[in-house]
Each structure stands twice: as structure tokens, then as C-alpha cells.
Structure 1
Amino acid sequence: MAGKELHVTDIFLAVQVEAIVAREGAIMAVEKGFSNYVIESDSLQIITALRTTTTDRSVIGLIVEDTKSLMARVTGEVTTHIRRTANIVADCLAQFGRNIGANLTWFEEPPNFIIHLLFEDCN
């Protein structure tokens, strides 16, 4: 298990953020030599785009194509669409990330602030 908080600018669509998140996860999986990589997202558009074999020519197309090329380098990759209600921790992390203004990466053991998010209201 791994995670990353990334500060990005000049993003205008939620789907752009979702695409960047998927790519950053794929980059991390390749850099760390992970043999398995699972993308769970409540964005059906991202999951569909990553599963298709045709070239994505949408506004997020370049990011999607880059992510697919990275995913091809990982042995066991899975893309799964989940309900937004099952993605509460990710939503809390996104809210937290908007406020910290820094980049953080963690592996295996999540930092304490994530554990606290599980037991507190993130609003």
C-alpha cells in the first residue's frame, strides 16, 4: 500500500485531477518495481479510458495514454470502478491535500494524519 499527496496548479476539471492521480500512481508502481498495481476510482470516465485499447483523444487523452503505457510495465494491473461512498478516505485526503501545499509520499505504513482521518469527520 502506498499513497501520495501532490500539489498541482492550473487544473480546471475534476477529470483532469483523476487522470493525474492515476498516472502518479502508475509512476510510483513502476519506480518502486511493484508487481501488482490496482487503480480504484469513483470516476467511471477514467476507468473506462484506462481500459480501452483505442487512443484517447479527449482533454485528458495524453495523461491517459501515458498512464496506459506505464501500466503495461506492471505485471498485474487492475482498474476498478467504485462508488463514491466507498471512496471516503480518498475524498478526505483530497481535502487535506488542498490545505497542505506540499508533496508527501508514503509506503506500507500510512502517516498518522491518515489514521486520524479514519476516525474524524474530514469536513
Structure 2
Amino acid sequence: MAAREGAILAVEGDFNNAIFESDSLQIVSAIQSSSVDRSNVGPVVEDTKALLTQITGDGFTHIRRVANGAAHRLARYASHTGTMTTWFEEPPDLLVDVLYEECNL
């Protein structure tokens, strides 16, 4: 669902070149596969693939979980809040220390 929502955001925001990163190798592989996904999440995967055809860029790439501290913190935040939030300029305060640590590794 997160991959699909990211693709929707990119399409609706008219982002011309988007790169998505995920630490879920299973999801990245499913989205990159040229075959139809017939799993339980297949309709979401296929919808995400269709959305990605409207975006130029590398699509989804896999990254190691330890290199994805900011995304992990955002996921934890999202699981505790009931509202949708987006940031386009400055990162939210809950990410400042994580981004600083990742940049100085």
C-alpha cells in the first residue's frame, strides 16, 4: 500500500522523475516483475505498476533496512497517527536527527 500511495503522490504531484526506495525485497521484486502478480496483494502491485508507467525514473529499488532509518521512523510515526501527512520542503522534526546520523556515517 505504501508503494502504491507513493506512486499516486508522484503522479498527482506531476513529478517528472521519481525514484522510490524500499527495504522490502519482496515488494520491489513484485513491482519490477514483468509477469502478472496473482498473490493476495496482486491487485495493489498491478495498480502500482500501472501508475509507474506514468512516471519517468528508475521506479522502485531495494535498499538495506539499516540504511533506511528515516523511512523506519516515518513508518512508526504513521502507525500511531490517523492522518495523512506530507512534507515537501524541510524534513519534519522527528527526522532531523536520523537524517543527520545517516549523512555522517
> Same fold per TM (> 0.5)?
yes
Using the alignment, how far apart are the partners of 1:77 and 1:70 within structure 2? Answer: 13
Q: How many correspondences in the alignment?
A: 101
Residues 52 and 59 in structure 2, CA contact (< 8 A), matched pair in contact too: no
Matched, 1:87 2:68: yes
- Could you say which residue in structure 1 is the equivalent of 2:14? 33
Residues 71 and 77 in structure 1, CA contact (< 8 A), matched pair in contact too: no
Counterpart amino acid of residue 109 in structure 1: E
Counterpart amino acid of residue 72 in structure 2: D
Structure 2 length normalisation: TM-score?
0.85
Counterpart amino acid of residue 46 in structure 1: I
- Could you say which residue in structure 2 is the equivalent of 1:4? none
User: Where in structure 2 are there 5+ consecutive unaligned residues?
Assistant: none
Using the alignment, how far apart are the partners of 1:61 and 1:78 within structure 2? Answer: 18
Structure 1 length normalisation: TM-score?
0.74
What percent of counterpart residues are identical?
50
Runs (4 or more) in structure 1 with deviation over 3 Å come to: 116-120
Matched, 1:43 2:24: yes
Q: What is the alpha-carbon root mean square deviation over aligned residues?
A: 1.8
Asked which structure has the greater RCO (Cα within 8 Å, sep 6+), the reply is 1
